[in-house]
Amino acid sequence: MMVRTQIQLTEEQAQAMKRIARSRHLSVAELIRCAVDTMIKSSPLADPEERRKRAIDVVGKFSSGKRDIAGKHDKYLADAYRA
């Protein structure tokens, strides 16, 4: 079930939304729903169980090629921020 709501956008926002929606073959309403979903999922107020599931889902999906990440993660992070 959908709940009808009304929003006000600036002219620039409305034009940008129309361009993006057109390029993705979506309605502006669907694009806004996707944006709202993204905001909800990334919010620190998101459901803790959902956040835990998302964190677990990414385990093992990335590879640095380094074999000592567990022991030297602070060093690698510091090096990355210096670069």
pTM > 0.75: yes or no: no
pLDDT tens per residue, range 8-63: 999 999 999 999 999 999 999 999 999 999 988 887 776 788 778 888 998 888 88
Contact call for residues 21 and 30 (beta carbons, < 8 A): yes
Q: Residue 32 is which amino acid?
A: I
Q: Alpha carbon of 28 to those of 3, 33, 34, 41, 61: distances in Å?
A: 16, 9, 10, 20, 32
